[in-house]
C-alpha cells in the first residue's frame, strides 16, 4: 500500500524502538521515511547514509543484512535520515561526491559536482587531442597551461591535472570559502603544486598577462534568478547562490567570460564551456565572431546541448 501522504509524518519505528535492529530492517524503514518525504532516489540515499554511518562499502552492507546496529549507530543513522527527509542533500551529510572517478570533499560552500560536468573534461581532452593517448604518452605529458573559471570544489581543475600530469593550472573563484575547499581537494589528490587558486571575478587577475593558455574551461553559474522557484529545494536552499545564478536570465556571465578567454588564449587554444538548458543559442552566437573557429556543441546523455567549445583563431 502506498504511504498516505495526507497523514502527518510519523517518526520511523526503527529510530524509536529499543529491540535489536538489523541492517535490512533499518534500510527498509529509512527508505519508507524518505519516500514519505518525497525524497528522490530514496533507496540510494538510504544506502549511502548507512554506508557513511557504518564506515562500510555497499558490498559489505549486502553481505551482512542481519548485522545489528548498536544504539549509537541507530541514532546517528536516523538523525541523518531525518535531515535528508528535511531536504539536506546527501552529499552535505556525507561530505563527499565522486567526480571523474575521484573523491571530492564537498560542503555547503561549493556546488556539488554533477555528472554532466564530466562532459567538460571529456571535451577538453578531445580538443587537446589526448583522449585516446596513454597516461605516459608525450602528448599527455605536454606542459599545457590551463585555466578553470569558477572552480568551486576544484573538480574541473583537479580532474584535468589528474589527466595531464605536467599541466599547470590556474583556478579562479569569487568565493574565498569555495577556494578553501578546492585547495583541500587539490592536496587530497596530490596536484596542489600544479594548481594556483586565485580569488577574483572571472579571469580579471590575469588580464595583464599576454595570451598563454592552451585551454580555458568553465562551468559558470547559469541558472536564471527568475527560474529559482523551479529548482528542487535541495538545490535552492542548500547550494550557494553564487554557484547557481548567472543573472536574471542565467546567461549573463558568458559574454564577459568569452571576451576574456579571447584575450588570454594562445592562437589555436581552446575554450570549453558548460551550458545551461537554455544557453546554447546565446553562447553559440557569442562564438560566431572573427575570433573563434571550430565551434561545436556537445550533447549530454539526455540529448541536451551541454558543452560549447571553440578554438581561438590563429
Ligand X SMILES: C[S@@+](CC[C@H](N)C(=O)[O-])C[C@H]1O[C@@H](n2cnc3c(N)ncnc32)[C@H](O)[C@@H]1O
Contacts to ligand X by CB under 6 A: 111, 113, 117, 149-153, 155-156, 172-175, 178, 201-202, 219-221, 242-243, 253
Closer residue to ligand X, CB minimum distance, 172 or 309: 172
As measured in angstroms, the least distance from the Cβ of 164 to ligand X is 17
Closer residue to ligand X, CB minimum distance, 100 or 144: 100
Closer residue to ligand X, CB minimum distance, 33 or 151: 151
* CA-wise closest residue to 308 among 239, 179, 225, 217: 217
As measured in angstroms, the least distance from the Cβ of 104 to ligand X is 9
As measured in angstroms, the least distance from the Cβ of 157 to ligand X is 8
Cell of 68: 545489528
Cell of 162: 589528474
As measured in angstroms, the least distance from the Cβ of 244 to ligand X is 7
- H helix or E strand, kind and range, residue 46: helix 42-54
Residue 104's SS3 state is: strand
Residue 298 Cα distances to 74, 151, 313, angstroms: 45, 21, 20
As measured in angstroms, the least distance from the Cβ of 226 to ligand X is 17
Q: How far is Cα 185 from Cα 212, in angstroms, rounded to an integer?
A: 26
Closer residue to ligand X, CB minimum distance, 89 or 220: 220
As measured in angstroms, the least distance from the Cβ of 179 to ligand X is 9
Closer residue to ligand X, CB minimum distance, 178 or 286: 178
Closer residue to ligand X, CB minimum distance, 61 or 304: 304
Residue 127 Cα distances to 29, 55, 70, 270, 272, angstroms: 48, 40, 53, 7, 9
Residue 294's SS3 state is: strand
Closer residue to ligand X, CB minimum distance, 201 or 298: 201
DSSP state of 111: P
Listed in sequence order, the residues at least 6 apart from 135 whose beta carbon sits closer than 8 Å to its beta carbon are 163, 165
Residue 3 Cα distances to 23, 46, 188, angstroms: 22, 17, 43
As measured in angstroms, the least distance from the Cβ of 270 to ligand X is 17
CA atoms in the 13 A half-sphere facing the CB of 234: 18
Q: How far is Cα 123 from Cα 111, in angstroms, rounded to an integer?
A: 21
As measured in angstroms, the least distance from the Cβ of 260 to ligand X is 10
Contact between 70 and 18 under an 8 Å Cβ cutoff? The reply is no
Closer residue to ligand X, CB minimum distance, 232 or 267: 232
Amino acid at each position: 500500500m502506498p504511504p498516505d501522504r495526507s497523514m502527518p509524518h510519523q517518526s520511523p519505528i526503527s529510530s524509536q524502538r529499543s529491540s535489536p535492529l538489523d541492517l535490512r530492517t533499518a534500510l527498509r524503514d529509512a527508505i519508507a521515511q524518505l519516500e514519505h518525504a518525497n525524497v528522490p532516489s530514496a533507496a540510494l540515499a538510504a544506502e549511502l547514509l548507512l554506508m557513511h554511518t557504518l564506515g562500510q562499502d555497499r558490498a559489505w552492507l549486502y553481505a551482512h543484512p542481519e548485522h545489528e546496529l548498536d544504539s549509537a549507530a541507530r541514532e546517528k543513522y536516523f538523525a541523518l535520515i531525518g535531515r535528508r527527509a528535511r531536504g539536506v542533500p546527501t552529499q552535505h551529510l556525507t561530505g563527499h561526491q565522486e567526480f571523474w572517478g575521484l573523491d571530492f570533499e564537498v560542503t555547503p560552500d561549493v556546488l556539488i559536482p554533477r555528472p554532466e560536468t564530466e562532459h567538460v573534461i571529456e571535451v577538453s581532452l578531445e580538443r587537446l587531442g589526448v583522449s585516446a593517448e596513454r597516461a605516459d604518452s608525450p602528448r599527455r605529458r605536454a606542459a599545457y597551461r590551463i585555466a578553470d573559471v569558477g572552480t568551486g570544489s576544484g573538480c574541473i581543475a583537479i580532474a584535468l591535472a589528474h589527466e595531464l600530469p605536467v599541466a599547470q593550472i590556474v583556478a579562479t573563484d569569487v568565493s574565498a570559502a569555495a577556494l578553501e575547499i578546492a585547495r583541500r581537494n587539490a592536496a587530497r589528490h596530490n596536484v596542489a603544486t600544479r594548481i594556483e587558486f586565485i580569488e577574483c571575478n572571472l579571469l580579471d587577475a590575469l588580464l595583464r598577462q599576454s595570451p598563454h593558455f592552451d585551454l580555458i574551461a568553465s562551468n559558470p553559474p547559469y541558472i536564471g534568478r527568475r527560474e529559482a522557484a523551479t529548482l528542487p529545494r535541495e538545490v535552492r536552499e542548500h547550494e550557494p547562490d553564487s554557484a547557481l545564478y548567472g543573472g536574471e536570465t542565467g546567461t549573463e556571465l558568458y559574454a564577459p567570460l568569452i571576451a576574456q578567454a579571447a584575450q588570454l588564449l594562445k592562437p589555436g587554444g581552446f575554450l570549453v564551456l558548460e551550458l545551461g538548458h537554455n544557453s546554447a543559442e546565446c553562447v553559440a552566437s557569442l562564438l560566431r565572431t572573427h575570433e573563434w573557429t571550430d565551434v561545436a556543441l556537445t550533447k549530454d546523455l539526455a540529448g541536451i546541448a551541454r558543452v560549447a567549445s571553440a578554438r581561438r583563431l590563429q
